[in-house]
Amino acid sequence: MPELRKDPILGRWVIIAHERAKRPHDFKAETPAPGPEVVCPFCQGQEDKTPPEIVAYRDFGSRPNGPGWRIRVVPNRFPALKIEGSLNKRGDGIYDVMEGIGAHEVIIETPSHHTSMATLSPDNIREVLWVYRDRLVDLKRDSRLVHGMLFKNVGIAGGASLEHTHSQLIVTPIVPISVWEEMTGSLEFYNYRGRCIYCDMVQQELTAEKRIVYDSTHFTAFCPFASRFPFETWILPKTHSSHFENIPKAGVDDLGHVLHQVLNKLELALDSPAYNYIIHSAPFDHGELPHYHWHIEVIPRLTKVAGFEWGSGFYINPVPPESAAGFLRDVEVVAADPRPGLIDRAVTGRWLTNVPLEKMGWSSEGASN
């Protein structure tokens, strides 16, 4: 059974995953590039290679755990947290510990192996967003669980262990410290000014324009003023909302389009980089909060987080967010091909697709070098 342990100084919780126990020699210095996969468990026709599906969006007449699906959600085969059992909160001297109860699910976004999230059609992406929402609505009924985090790892530097495009959902019995810090900071602003800091940020970015990557009816994407990483991009709803799972249909329709634009701009501008995206949303056990505003953080993995960053919490970002946003704005994403999963793309402006960061005078290393 995994265990949750609390750092008594920072209040940060750590998942100790006993069952994934490894010996020192299992941790190699570098992760080798994966060879050609003999059988990918996420491909169509390999449904028996995953645990049974929790939910799937399927073509009419197809059977569960067989082919004919467009999106499949399955439990993670090596879950960081497990759904069965009780929390059993207890002390161990000065330390707090509880059982690692939670959910760890994998969302397989397409049956096709050689497709990235960016090359899915906006309609495919909309279905992925609906699945995200459905899973949160379902899991928030479990009173032991308080927060759900949806995230995506792409590429080896992004932490992906399988090439086939997928995202993950980890639902925890405690609020992750990153969300807690955002909620605390935004509450402080709200108590002082009576407004949501994220709403203010959206207004200022739309007025200033210089950090806007893409703007749409219901959402805006921009490189944040204090970007930690080159080309870090946030997507925020323009209307205040604290919980992602309360997104209306018009919101899903528009977000599918905006996410398609942003991911294509990153793929085209940075030659399909490794990246992560994370959806930060308010905890389940609160109603609508006036001070917190859900958002997506997209983080290309172009620099290495090294000693200084780990030790200090400071990040050194070699690309000013104003320049990053300018480059991304100039990448034109041509409308999707009507055939699902295929898209015609073109680049305009001063940006070429295969220019590594170094050639543009930016180091891809962190402060270690």
40 makes contact with Zn ion (CB under 5 A): yes
Distance CA 247, CA 250 (A): 8
292 makes contact with Zn ion (CB under 5 A): no
Q: Locate 86 and state its tokens.
A: 């009780």
Stretch that binds Zn ion, among 15-23, 58-66, 106-114, 340-348 (CB under 5 A): 106-114
The minimum distance between CB 255 and Zn ion, in angstroms, equals 16
Stretch that binds Zn ion, among 110-118, 150-158, 217-225, 254-262 (CB under 5 A): 110-118
Beta carbon nearer to Zn ion, 144 or 238: 238
Active site residues: 166
The minimum distance between CB 42 and Zn ion, in angstroms, equals 5
Beta carbon nearer to Zn ion, 214 or 234: 234
**Residues touching Zn ion: how many (CB under 5 A)?**
11
Stretch that binds Zn ion, among 33-41, 98-106, 166-174, 209-217 (CB under 5 A): 33-41
Beta carbon nearer to Zn ion, 89 or 286: 286
Beta carbon nearer to Zn ion, 240 or 265: 240
Name the amino acid, one letter, at 70. Answer: R
218 makes contact with Zn ion (CB under 5 A): no
280 makes contact with Zn ion (CB under 5 A): yes
The phi-psi region of residue 206 (left if phi > 0; otherwise alpha if psi is between -120 and 50; otherwise beta) is alpha
81 makes contact with Zn ion (CB under 5 A): no
Distance CA 271, CA 367 (A): 23
Beta carbon nearer to Zn ion, 16 or 162: 162
117 makes contact with Zn ion (CB under 5 A): no
187 makes contact with Zn ion (CB under 5 A): no
Phi and psi at 300, nearest 5°, equal -65, 140
Stretch that binds Zn ion, among 118-126, 261-269, 274-282, 346-354 (CB under 5 A): 274-282
Output the 3-class SS for 12-58: CEEEECHHHCCCHHHCCCCCCCCCCCCCCCCCCCCHHHCCCCCEEEE
The minimum distance between CB 361 and Zn ion, in angstroms, equals 29
The minimum distance between CB 182 and Zn ion, in angstroms, equals 5
Out of 126, 164, 166, 257, the only residue in the binding site for Zn ion (CB under 5 A) is 164
3-state class of 188 per DSSP?
A: helix
Beta carbon nearer to Zn ion, 100 or 147: 147
Stretch that binds Zn ion, among 102-110, 159-167, 250-258, 312-320 (CB under 5 A): 159-167
- How buried is residue 237: exposed, middle or buried, by Cβ count under 10 Å (0-12/13-18/19+)? buried
- How buried is residue 344: exposed, middle or buried, by Cβ count under 10 Å (0-12/13-18/19+)? exposed
196 makes contact with Zn ion (CB under 5 A): yes
Out of 104, 126, 147, 240, the only residue in the binding site for Zn ion (CB under 5 A) is 240
Give residues with Cβ within 8 angstroms of 361, minimum separation 6: none
140 makes contact with Zn ion (CB under 5 A): no
Out of 2, 13, 42, 170, the only residue in the binding site for Zn ion (CB under 5 A) is 42
Distance CA 285, CA 146 (A): 6
CA-based end-to-end distance of the chain = 40
Q: Locate 313 and state its tokens.
A: 């919490």
3-state class of 299 per DSSP?
A: strand
Q: Locate 201 and state its tokens.
A: 């940020």
How far, in whole angstroms, is CA 363 from its chain's centroid?
25
The minimum distance between CB 79 and Zn ion, in angstroms, equals 20
Beta carbon nearer to Zn ion, 293 or 329: 293
293 makes contact with Zn ion (CB under 5 A): yes
Strands (E), 29-177: 55-58, 69-75, 90-92, 95-99, 103-108, 147-154, 166-172
| 300, β-bridge pairs | 275
166 makes contact with Zn ion (CB under 5 A): no
291 makes contact with Zn ion (CB under 5 A): no
**Which positions touch Zn ion (CB under 5 A)?**
40, 42-43, 113, 164, 196, 198-199, 240, 280, 293
